[in-house]
Amino acid sequence: MTTGVLMLDLEGLSLTDSEREILRDPDVGGLILFSRNFSDPAQLTSLMHSIRAVRPDLMVAVDQEGGRVQRFREGFTRLPAMATLGQRYQQDPEQALFQARELGWLMAAELRAFDIDISFAPVLDLDWQRSSVIGDRAFAADAADVSVLAGAFMAGMHEAGMAATGKHFPGHGWVEADSHLELPIDQRLESAICDVDMQPFSDLITQGLDAIMPAHVVYTQVCHSPAGFSDYWLRTILRERLGFDGVIFSDDLTMEGASVAGSYAQRCDQAMAAGCDMVLVCNQPAAAREVLAHIKASGIKSAGRLPRMLGKPFKVDEARLAAARNIAGELLSMQA
């Protein structure tokens, strides 16, 4: 079963010989696919077959949230931004919850058909109307609305055999800066963050949330390290106060918001020491190899939670698939 703590990525549409070699390394436990790795369903089928031939146990992930963040499009249902569910919830809460569940199921079902284990979803951040990088990726501005809608979306994912990952703990919606490009700073009091932004995470943990991805955000009134490198946020708050025993994924260690932690090896060390189960190193193959060498030299091993994220078998319901695609189309018309 998957035990390696590094998740990395691929350069193109098919595996290179060097990528086959690195994927065989037992310290590589995950692979994340991007738009550059996808052209159409036939190509994805071929790519996944070649990946599974090398590592049947490898955790394969993608960001397939919907809206702006959907890596696979050709041959997949176009998914609306989650904010459209929040808008529908204001008009018809019961219908919105049903639609959220069906969209979660649809997203997961289409990916599981290609033997992809997880999409890093749902987004549990609040839309404070401040963050361009979050924006309509958030279900809503109200924490209670996010909790019920994301909970329904997660339930649909689970029905399709996919584990759910809530992001970006304890909340990325307040800060304006994009952590891909700079280090965001949130100067609010801990009580403001925990009582509001963190509530969807707390609520979904009680509903069986499988994994969490922390934010590359510094909450200066709480800790001087970004949440993903903070023992206080990940162990004291997430593990102890909220009782979370699922997987913690780092966000991408190549993002500018992670640079405060030092070299790539130091970023890996700080993330793991803070409580992460797996570190992501994306879009920089040399950095991924540097981190892999460091993991091997340091003897870093997983805490044993990672196999929980592997996809589970499920049977596609064609009638449900057609109905869910109609829901996606209806919500897209609202979005337009």
Structure tokens given for 336 = 């337009």
| CB-CB neighbours of 135 under 10 Å | 17
- 257 confidence band (pLDDT: 50, 70, 90): low
Could you give the CA distance from residue 11 to residue 23 in angstroms, rounded to a whole number? Answer: 13
Which helix (H) or strand (E) element contains residue 59?
strand 59-62
Query: What is the reported pLDDT for 133?
Result: 87
- 313 confidence band (pLDDT: 50, 70, 90): very high
Backbone angles phi, psi at 198, to 5 degrees: -80, -10
Mean pLDDT score, 129-153: 95
Q: Among 251, 252, 269, 277, which one carries the catalytic annotation?
A: 251
Query: What is the reported pLDDT for 2?
Result: 56
Structure tokens given for 237 = 């708050």
- 106 confidence band (pLDDT: 50, 70, 90): very high
Mean pLDDT score, 24-34: 97
Bridge partners, 6 (sequence order): 28, 279
Say whether 251 is catalytic: yes
Query: What is the reported pLDDT for 140?
Result: 97
Contact 169, 222 (CB under 8 A): no
- Percent pLDDT > 70 in the chain is 97
Say whether 277 is catalytic: no
Mean pLDDT score, 110-127: 98
Mean pLDDT score, 262-291: 95
Mean pLDDT score, 160-170: 98
Query: What is the reported pLDDT for 336?
Result: 63
Query: What is the reported pLDDT for 177?
Result: 67
Q: Is the pLDDT of residue 250 over 60?
A: yes
Average pLDDT, whole number, for the chain?
95
Angstrom CA distances, 146 to 123, 127, 286, 295, stand at: 9, 9, 38, 37
Q: Among 115, 178, 180, 317, which one carries the catalytic annotation?
A: 180
Residue 96 region, left (φ>0) first, then alpha (ψ -120 to 50), else beta? alpha
Taking the CA atoms of the chain, what radius of gyration do you get in angstroms?
19
Question: Per-residue pLDDT tens for 175-227?
Answer: 986 666 678 899 999 999 999 999 999 999 999 999 999 998 999 999 999 99
Query: Could you write out the DSSP letters of every residue in 86-120?
Result: HHHHHH-HHHHHHHHHHHHHHHHHHHHTTT--EE-
Residue 202, SS3 per DSSP? helix
Query: What is the reported pLDDT for 298?
Result: 93
Angstrom CA distances, 88 to 82, 201, 227, 267, stand at: 10, 22, 32, 41
Query: What is the reported pLDDT for 1?
Result: 54
Residue type at position 2? T
Whole-prediction pTM: 0.96
Question: Per-residue pLDDT tens for 65-96?
Answer: 999 999 999 999 999 999 999 999 999 999 99
Could you give the CA distance from residue 189 to residue 208 in angstroms, rounded to a whole number? Answer: 28
Lowest mean pLDDT among 124-128, 131-135, 159-163, 190-194: 131-135
C-alpha triplet 177, 167, 205: angle, nearest 5°: 145
Residue type at position 278? M
Mean pLDDT score, 128-154: 95
Q: Is the pLDDT of residue 256 over 80?
A: no
Structure tokens given for 130 = 């401040």
